[in-house]
Amino acid sequence: MDGRKDRSRYPKMIPADIDTPEVISNRLPQAQTQALSTLNKTTKDQVNQAQKYRQSTLQAVIVSEVSALAFAVKAGVVRLMNAARTQFALHDAKEAESDVADSQKSARVASRAITNSTVTSNCLKNVYWFPEEEASPLPTKTRRMS
């Protein structure tokens, strides 16, 4: 039997008279308005600063990784991209090829976007590199020394 049809699993419904509504808003104890905001202004400022710092850090990381991948595509050093086996399981080779093609297309789009716009970042030193003779199943990073 389907568990959803078993009425014993649900609370019992009691018919109520809807012709005469009862106002109960004044019966509940009212909480003090100061209890709603337990953080003082200094703590709120610190939380806001931490959130802004986290947001800018995440933006820098994303810009760095997408820029490095787009730079690698633009420079023509990316020949093959394999999905990281620890991230997800692919069911067949056709699905893997589709995901690799999608990743390469996204990197090309990012490369065009970077070419057409000005990106200011100090994080462009990461370059993805895949040797032609043997592609690693996981991406390897090399750092260019400037």
pLDDT digits (tens, 9 = 90+) for 22-59: 655 555 555 555 544 556 777 888 888 888 888 888 77
Using 50 as the pLDDT threshold, list the residues of the chain that sit under it.
Answer: 35-36, 80, 82-87, 119-142, 146
Cα distance between residue 82 and residue 101, in whole Å: 10
**Cβ–Cβ < 8 Å for 128, 69:** yes
pLDDT on residue 91: 59
Cα distance between residue 57 and residue 7, in whole Å: 52
